Amino acid sequence: MAQILVLASTADTDVLPALGLLSHKVRTITAEPASLISAPVSDIVILDARRDLVNAKSLAKVLLTTGMSAPLLLVVTEAGLPGINAEWGASDIILEGAGPGEIDARIRIALGRGKVITKRETINEGGVVIDEASYSAKVHGKPLDLTFKEFELLRFLAQHPGRVFTREQLLSEVWGYDYFGGTRTVDVHIRRLRAKLGDLEALIGTVRNVGYRFNVSLEDDFAASDY
């Protein structure tokens, strides 16, 4: 069962009726950049490109530039097929009116491709080496003394370089939905992580009034400070 985010013209639009017949968890939000700031982390993103190809393509590019790691599936009409190309960055397309069998198969294939590409036990981003198998991290070859939650937070951010996460999203993904503490704990752990990263503290950037992200370069942190 996958966590699926559907980007539609309105939150009550039924983009793929047959999707409701499957066991996946589906959430629909409006297809606009502002909605992406607080969008939940998902295994698959489905973008409605049936009616407005120009705006849909622009949003697809926004998803790519914000560092989205989930496969992107486009829902299109037969007439819209000539307008789809590699610039969209989509993993696959689904014609409107597709049945549950086809939709489920395309979701499985997209998820399978993602696992082949991303499956690894070591993350090396920005000078930080994270060993997922041993739950350890190093900076400049020296081990970091991290608590379990600090490690989980660092790993999650490094798995999505460049993508901005709100405090609520980080709380949900790292601490879990059943955590009853406030978002203040995210700020506390971010501060501790930065202190332990030393001269690489800027790798964890703050996007003002939004949240945090793992910077792929120090230039990203400079840009983030302007938000």
- The domain limits of the chain are 3-118, 122-224
- Say what the pLDDT of residue 178 is: 58
- Say what the pLDDT of residue 101 is: 94
CATH T-level topology, domain 3-118 = Rossmann fold (3.40.50)
- Say what the pLDDT of residue 61 is: 85
- Say what the pLDDT of residue 211 is: 92
Whether the CB-CB separation of 214 and 126 falls below 8 Å is answered with: yes
- Say what the pLDDT of residue 115 is: 55
- Say what the pLDDT of residue 105 is: 93
Q: What are phi and psi of 116, to 5 degrees?
A: -65, -40
- Say what the pLDDT of residue 18 is: 92
- Say what the pLDDT of residue 177 is: 57
Q: What's the pTM value of the predicted model, to 2 decimals?
A: 0.55
Which residues, other chains included, contact 41 with Cβ-Cβ below 8 Å and sequence gap of 6+? Answer: 3, 70, 165, 169, 172, 173
Q: Print burial letters for 108-122: b (CB count within 10 Å at least 16), e (below 16).
A: eebbeebeeeeeeee
CATH architecture of 122-224: Orthogonal Bundle (1.10)
- Say what the pLDDT of residue 159 is: 87
pLDDT in single tens digits along all 227 residues of the chain: 788 999 998 877 789 999 989 989 999 998 888 877 777 778 899 999 998 899 999 898 888 776 677 889 999 999 999 999 888 888 899 999 899 999 999 999 888 875 544 445 678 877 889 887 778 899 988 899 999 899 999 999 998 888 899 988 888 888 875 566 678 899 999 999 999 999 999 999 999 888 999 987 654 454 444 43
Residue-wise DSSP of 40-83:
PP-SEEEEE-SS-HHHHHHHHHHHHHTT--S-EEEEE-GGGGGG
Which residues, other chains included, contact 186 with Cβ-Cβ below 8 Å and sequence gap of 6+? Answer: 153, 167, 170, 171, 174, 212
